[in-house]
Structure 1
Amino acid sequence: MFDWLISPFLQYGFMQRALFGSIVLSVSCAPVGVFLMLRRMSLTGDAMSHAILPGAALGFLLFGLDILPMTIGGLLVGLLVALGSGFVSRFTVQKEDASMAAFYLISLAVGVLLVSWRGSSVDLMHVLFGSVLALNNEALGLIVGIAVLTFVALIVFWRALVAECLDPLFLRSVSRMGGPVHLLFLVLVVLNLVGGFQALGTLLSVGLMMLPAVAARFWSNDVRGLCLIAIAIAVVSSLCGLLLSYHASMPSGPAIIMVAGVAYILSALFGRRGMLASALPSRRHKTA
């Protein structure tokens, strides 16, 4: 058991960096995923993860696999897509989900074309799916920095984020914080997707954000509880996914997301608010 669970992380430095990066990503991304879920914007996270591809691809074409240009490019394009879709929905008859879908599809197509134009199929796979086992110190520093910024923002603006999440009209009626808080939240989403992109690629980075969050929904109804449970599920998924990828010779990123998917299915079946609990007859105390 020791050899199966502990030995890979003691013997190999790349496994240690992968575990550390995955845990930091789990702690940072999972709470953001909870707020996305509560805002009923779960698919927006998926759209935004695709939207950062052109910026990352442009940074790759100009500077190679240098983390800083790819990060800056992904961040700028992600914010541009978020603000652009919001601008279209605000000043036209189109709803935000439709405009977001249009923007992210355009971004995805442009990004794939950019990478295919100057890169190889290996480069395209690296950008789309990442490589958590190849995290270097620079990538880990970026992930830690994003996690620190996310936690500071959540602590300082926690009440405003919860209020804007549950009743945005009320927040805007009693405070001018509604618009800035919404913009701050979009920035946090893009930042965490950019951080996840370094390890999981643009297609899977949203998985560590959303799957633990939606799985936690079957266990709690409290926002703080949801965040803590989502973090725990994400951390366990990262650990088990890395071990599975090591022993079964599987790609590490998909293995982590697959384990998170299994956690979601188990939560949907056996959680306190899952299907099995709903199917059981409720206990009613009969009064004389």
Structure 2
Amino acid sequence: MNALYDIIFAPFIEFGFMQRALGGALLLCLSACPVGVFLMLRRMSLAGDAMAHAILPGAAAGFLLYGLEIVPMTVGGLVAGVVVALGAAAVSRLTVLKEDASMAAFYLISLALGVLIVSLRGSPIDLMHVLFGTVLALNDEALGLIGGITAVTLAGLFVFWRALIAECLDPLFLRSVSKLGPPVHFVFLGLVVLNLVGGFQALGTLLSVGLMMLPAAAARFWTGQVISMCVVATLVGAASVISGLLLSFHLSLPSGPSIILSAGVVYLLSVLVGPRGLPSRRSRSLRHRAA
């Protein structure tokens, strides 16, 4: 019993930095995992990765002007993310280029520009901080920011829930019966940017999308209902956070990658044993042969 306490509970009870890391990461799960479900259903998973890199120039500009300060880097990342989202959407609607291609172009430009800006002033350690985050160094200011983003995201999902589901299933139908189509699309992109900015505080620009997409992808193998997927994805995210932080604490591993790899393990297990994963495909194949 004492061994169980030392392994699982003691790190979060006895160390304040572990408590802040757990609280901030769990708040991210509440908002980022449901957003990841809608990204997956809209077939925009890779767009989420592109958006994660899109915030880098703004965060880097805030770092260049003010150093490793949360507010300037957050505001800069938010502005850059919104500009890239609107720019990619405008290009896809006004030209022959599809949204995924325009998003990829903006993402590559943003990534290169962000790394260049950080390199102008920072050291390799600063660049690693921006790219991979420092979840174990979250302070009260960062927790307040993440909590605010979570509240805004949950409120947005509650208000636009039906419209978001309708756009996932049939965006043309939504636009034909309602004027909410384009506004909902941009509101959703705004929620994605907000959560990536929040995730940037803990996991950096390269890994923040991992907490958004891996739990959502794992949940897809367990249920087909949207509300259930959001709940399962949030639970998977929370389990990944707890196990990743414990691995980081006991084995002296980087915390961010440990969290994302934990989510990756759950995803692979879901593929192998989930009722909508490989067993389902194998059973369908057997029934087809029997018929």
State if a TM-score over 0.5 links the two structures. yes
- Structure 1 segments, 4+ long, off by >4 Å, are 281-284
Aligned residue in 2 for 1:84:
87
Whether 2:71 is the aligned partner of 1:68: answer yes
1:233 paired residue among 231, 236, 240: 236
Q: How does 1:1-288 map to 2 (within 5 A)?
A: 1-280=4-283
Question: 1:167 deviation in Å?
Answer: 0.9
Secondary structure at 1:218 match in 2: coil
Deviations 1:81-133 (A, max 9, x none): 11111111111111111111000000000000000111100000000000000
Counterpart of 2:172, as a letter, is: L
Q: Is the 8 A contact 1:54 1:107 kept in 2?
A: yes
Return the alpha-carbon distance in structure 2 between the equivalents of residues 230 and 20 of structure 1.
17
Question: 1:278 deviation in Å?
Answer: 2.3
Return the alpha-carbon distance in structure 1 between the equivalents of residues 162 and 71 of structure 2.
33
Question: 1:22 deviation in Å?
Answer: 0.7
Return the alpha-carbon distance in structure 2 between the equivalents of residues 85 and 189 of structure 1.
14
Identity percentage over the alignment?
A: 68
Unpaired segments ≥5 residues, structure 2: none
Comparing 158-167 with 254-263, greater Cα deviation is found at: 158-167
Return the alpha-carbon distance in structure 1 between the equivalents of residues 158 and 247 of structure 2.
34
Q: Is the 8 A contact 1:89 1:95 kept in 2?
A: yes
Secondary structure at 2:281 match in 1: helix
Secondary structure at 1:213 match in 2: helix
Counterpart of 2:43, as a letter, is: R
Secondary structure at 2:96 match in 1: coil
Question: 1:48 deviation in Å?
Answer: 0.2
Deviations 1:130-183 (A, max 9, x none): 000000000000000000000011111110111112111111100100011001
RMSD: 1.1
- Over 3 Å counting, the alpha-carbon distance change for 1:107 and 1:282 in structure 2 is closer
Counterpart of 1:222, as a letter, is: Q
Return the alpha-carbon distance in structure 2 between the equivalents of residues 283 and 75 of structure 1.
50
Q: Is the 8 A contact 1:270 1:277 kept in 2?
A: no
Counterpart of 2:100, as a letter, is: D
Counterpart of 1:131, as a letter, is: T
Return the alpha-carbon distance in structure 2 between the equivalents of residues 39 and 139 of structure 1.
30
Q: Is the 8 A contact 1:146 1:195 kept in 2?
A: yes
Secondary structure at 2:223 match in 1: coil
For this pair of structures, how many residues does the alignment match?
A: 284
Counterpart of 2:265, as a letter, is: V
Return the alpha-carbon distance in structure 2 between the equivalents of residues 264 and 162 of structure 1.
23
Deviations 1:164-210 (A, max 9, x none): 12111111100100011001000000000000000000000000000
Secondary structure at 1:6 match in 2: helix
Return the alpha-carbon distance in structure 1 between the equivalents of residues 177 and 55 of structure 2.
34
Return the alpha-carbon distance in structure 2 between the equivalents of residues 177 and 94 of structure 1.
24
What TM-score comes out, normalization by structure 2 length?
0.96
Q: Is the 8 A contact 1:14 1:133 kept in 2?
A: yes
Return the alpha-carbon distance in structure 1 between the equivalents of residues 184 and 129 of structure 2.
34
Counterpart of 1:279, as a letter, is: R
